[in-house]
Structure 1
Amino acid sequence: MENIKDWFTDNQGLLLNHLISLVTALLILWLGTKLARYLANACKNILIKKSIDAAVASFVSSLIHAVVVAAVIIAALSHVGIQTATFVAILGAAGLAIGLSLQGSLSNFASGILITIFRPFKAGDFIEAGGVAGVVKEIQIFSTVLTTPDNKYVVVPNAQVTGSPITNYSRHDIRRLDLVVGVSYEADLQKTESVLRDILSKHELVLQDKDFTVGVAALADSSVNFNVRSWVNTADYWTVFYDLNKTIKMELERNDIAIPFPQMDVHLHSEKS
């Protein structure tokens, strides 16, 4: 017992220094966790205010929180005299190994961040990306969810979306509708053009404040092809597309303008012996 008392008496200064270091380390941990939580929440609020997807904002804030907490733990351990160099090296090696094994997922995550920042499309847009065409239902951290016109649920990795051309059919309020109409070589071209222009001018969904185009585009093998181009509201595109095809055929037939189709003439020759 006396030996213990003597040891405490002889090492009071050392014990006091260790106690102060321990209290300081605990204080660093407490303040550090508070700081990590504050930074994570602040980052999340900033991202949400900038219209970044909530899932991405939450993930980024969690990542910031984890990084700050790890740095605080290393600082606290270092303050109490624990050598952290080896610990940091182990963490670095582990991080490198994890990064290499999850490089595909990290690429998808980075692509998801780019999508939410630059916003080439949003939920509800009809797009074609990554070889898939459909309506965007959700932009997730690692993938984008599309619903195809035949109601298929398709999950496309974000890296595949950003790694290919993105066509957003819903981005603008109006679109140009292009049709190719072929008539026979015997048809009256002036009359055909007049009929086509009359169809466009009378259609209620064709935008009349935008110039439409009707002109001979090609002298094909079996037909004279007209380009018929008009402007419509994006929401009316397919309605006008189907309706114009039907109306054009009916009006051309009513005006005795033939629509040719591929055919082959076979000539038989008889030879006298």
Structure 2
Amino acid sequence: MVRTLLSLALFILMTATMASAAPQKKPVDSAPIPVKSIAPQLPEAQVELDGKPLLAIKAKVLSFSPEDRAKAVSSRLAKLIKDPLFNAESLKVMDSETTTDIVAGDTILMSVTEADARAEDKPRLALAEEYAAKIRMAVVTHNKAYSMRTILFGALYSLLATLALIVALAVINHFLPKIVATIESWRGAYIRSIRIQSIEVVNEERITALIISLVRGIRVILMLGLFYLYIPLVLSFFPWTRGMATQLFEYILAPIEKVGLSFVSYLPNIFFLLVIGAVTHYAIKFIKFLFSEVEKQTITIPGFYHDWADPTFKIVRFLMIAFAAVVAFPYLPGSDSPAFKGVSVFLGVLFSLGSTSAISNIVAGVILTYMRAFKLGDRVKIADTVGDVVEKTLLVTRIRTIKNVDVTVPNAMVLGSHITNFSSSAQSYGLILHTTVTIGYDAPWRQVHELLISAALATENILELPAPFVLQTSLDDFYVSYQINAYTDKPSVMARTYSELHQNIQEKFNEAGVEIMSPHYSSLRDGNMTTVPESYLSDSYKPPPFRVSKVDAE
């Protein structure tokens, strides 16, 4: 069935093609149609007077083209109107066998031929009368424009325009100081500094100076505009410069007209951009509301920490703005021009080549955010820097040491270094502070443990629970290494806590009469004072004497 339908359709198509290609037979009784030879048409030319088109010539005469004829007629007419005795009413139309001439005295101004009549589809005499009437009217208009009365009125109008310009400039210069003084008086009352929280972005003096500069700039623009209007206006009052005035007005009116038409044609794109901007704005506000609720822990997402809310919102906002910019790009003015595309590519390449390290720092900053290696206020050690984290950005991390020195570390370096966080477990488990002392073998180890633990408990910011403990880390040749370990929940003051712990260890050991022997300290016990300070010794203490014993010879 399908093959049958396809065959039928192919047959109909071939039949229609052959029918349309077959020669059409003419009726026997039809009369032959005469074919006219069509001469090639030349472009028409305008006869001009004072730079204005007067009439059009469309046909050639012998070897003279329409342009040659128009130039010749324009030249004769220009010479004719310079004759002070010439009168427009003296123009006459004289008909002959082959041409109809427009004559002024003994001068043939123009000849109208049968070719001209055929080109205008009018009788030759009527066309000549029409041309003569146009020439008469143009000559009358020319004589009126160049008359003494017109020139005197032009001078009077120029004087009035000059007076109006002087008055306008005087008014502008008179009111400018008053406007400036009024703006100065608004400073502090109506004009105030622009602040973002406690940071002053722009102070009121700069804002006032900017407004005054803007007012003075407007004055300059107004004065230039008045001069631009004044000069063409004065030129238009005199016939010799009227063409220049029209051209000067065209210089400013043509761009304004072009900009206006472009703006009107661009209105649909503006509405589309406004829709994109509005949708993006309210979508960002909605996303911000969701993430703020997550940050407040009003909304909880399993596996998503509340301190991730703010950086995640910033990333989502950037992506939404970038997507909106991509969608809006084709609707920007000039986005299709090669120059706009070339500048865009150049800026993209420049940004790519110049921001390699910045991009690596941004990526590292994002990774550090979701690693949760540290947060603001944590006591950390990054590379050789120990201090509190005071600022986290996508580019850098700032650390303030215990000496109040702010150290700025690029995030790429932070990510590539070992990060030691002293604060992450301090509240939950407590941070263990530890220090080592070396005591000789003559001191009982249980006594040393008790002294170290009591020194730790006497130290401020050391927790009683979990209780401090002692580890004996090594048994060396001349001494034992004891390590005291104590818990604290305040890592931000660990340097002061260490210092106080060392003081208390010295106090406890001196009170108990136990010497703290350094690995590089040795003493000859016979005949030497103990290393315990005198304030801890009893009044009856005396240095031990030398002991001499006799050894029997074998």
TM-score (normalised: structure 1)? 0.70
Please give the alpha-carbon distance, in whole angstroms, between the structure 2 residues aligned to 1:130 and 1:47: 34
Q: How does 1:79-98 map to 2 (within 5 A)?
A: 91=344, 94-98=347-351
1:158 is aligned to 2:158: no
Contact 1:40–1:62 under 8 Å retained in 2: no
Please give the alpha-carbon distance, in whole angstroms, between the structure 2 residues aligned to 1:36 and 1:205: 52
Contact 1:53–1:116 under 8 Å retained in 2: no
Matched residue type, 2:468: F
| Cα deviation, residue 194, structure 1 | 3.2
Contact 1:44–1:60 under 8 Å retained in 2: no
Matched residue type, 2:499: Y
Tell me which of 426, 431, 442 is aligned to 1:186.
442
Q: 1:93 to 1:216 in 2, by over 3 A?
A: same
Contact 1:130–1:156 under 8 Å retained in 2: no
Bigger radius of gyration among the two: 2
Contact 1:36–1:69 under 8 Å retained in 2: no
Q: Look up the match of 1:113.
A: 366
Q: Secondary structure at the match of 1:108?
A: helix
Q: Secondary structure at the match of 1:167?
A: strand
Contact 2:459–2:500 under 8 Å retained in 1: no
Contact 1:41–1:61 under 8 Å retained in 2: no
Structure 1 unaligned runs (5+)? 1-20, 266-273
Please give the alpha-carbon distance, in whole angstroms, between the structure 2 residues aligned to 1:218 and 1:254: 25
Q: Deviations over 1:139-166 (max 9, x none)?
A: 2232122222111122221222222222
Q: How does 1:215-230 map to 2 (within 5 A)?
A: 215-230=471-486
Please give the alpha-carbon distance, in whole angstroms, between the structure 2 residues aligned to 1:154 and 1:206: 29
Please give the alpha-carbon distance, in whole angstroms, between the structure 2 residues aligned to 1:170 and 1:195: 28
Contact 1:145–1:153 under 8 Å retained in 2: yes
Matched residue type, 1:196: L
Q: Look up the match of 2:104.
A: none
RMSD over equivalenced CA pairs, Å: 3.7
Q: 1:40 to 1:106 in 2, by over 3 A?
A: farther
Structure 2 unaligned runs (5+)? 1-264, 296-306, 524-554
Contact 1:130–1:163 under 8 Å retained in 2: no
Q: Look up the match of 1:102.
A: 355
Q: Look up the match of 1:260.
A: 517
Tell me which of 369, 379, 394 is aligned to 1:126.
379
Tell me which of 195, 204, 210 is aligned to 2:466.
210
Q: 1:130 to 1:45 in 2, by over 3 A?
A: farther
1:244 is aligned to 2:501: yes
| Cα deviation, residue 211, structure 1 | 3.6
Aligned length: 242
| Cα deviation, residue 219, structure 1 | 1.5
Task: Give the number of the structure with larger relative contact order, counting CA–CA contacts within 8 Å between residues 6 or more apart.
Answer: 1
1:30 is aligned to 2:274: yes
The percent identity for this pair of structures is 21
Matched residue type, 1:260: M
Please give the alpha-carbon distance, in whole angstroms, between the structure 1 residues aligned to 2:368 and 2:431: 24
Q: 1:53 to 1:165 in 2, by over 3 A?
A: farther
Q: Deviations over 1:4-40 (max 9, x none)?
A: xxxxxxxxxxxxxxxxx96654443232222233344
Contact 2:470–2:485 under 8 Å retained in 1: yes
Please give the alpha-carbon distance, in whole angstroms, between the structure 2 residues aligned to 1:35 and 1:60: 15
Q: Deviations over 1:223-244 (max 9, x none)?
A: 2111211212225644442222
Q: Secondary structure at the match of 1:243?
A: helix
Please give the alpha-carbon distance, in whole angstroms, between the structure 1 residues aligned to 2:382 and 2:499: 25
Please give the alpha-carbon distance, in whole angstroms, between the structure 1 residues aligned to 2:419 and 2:317: 28
Contact 1:53–1:139 under 8 Å retained in 2: no
Q: Secondary structure at the match of 2:463?
A: coil
TM-score (normalised: structure 2)? 0.38
Please give the alpha-carbon distance, in whole angstroms, between the structure 1 residues aligned to 2:272 and 2:486: 69
Q: 1:263 to 1:117 in 2, by over 3 A?
A: closer
Tell me which of 377, 389, 393 is aligned to 1:140.
393
Q: 1:37 to 1:201 in 2, by over 3 A?
A: closer
Contact 2:291–2:313 under 8 Å retained in 1: yes
Contact 1:28–1:76 under 8 Å retained in 2: no
Contact 2:471–2:482 under 8 Å retained in 1: yes
Contact 2:378–2:423 under 8 Å retained in 1: yes
Q: 1:64 to 1:131 in 2, by over 3 A?
A: farther
Q: Look up the match of 1:233.
A: 489
| Cα deviation, residue 180, structure 1 | 0.8
Please give the alpha-carbon distance, in whole angstroms, between the structure 1 residues aligned to 2:471 and 2:290: 53
Contact 2:460–2:497 under 8 Å retained in 1: no
Contact 1:143–1:156 under 8 Å retained in 2: yes
Matched residue type, 2:365: G
Matched residue type, 2:511: R
Q: How does 1:55-94 map to 2 (within 5 A)?
A: 61=317, 64-74=320-330, 91=344, 94=347
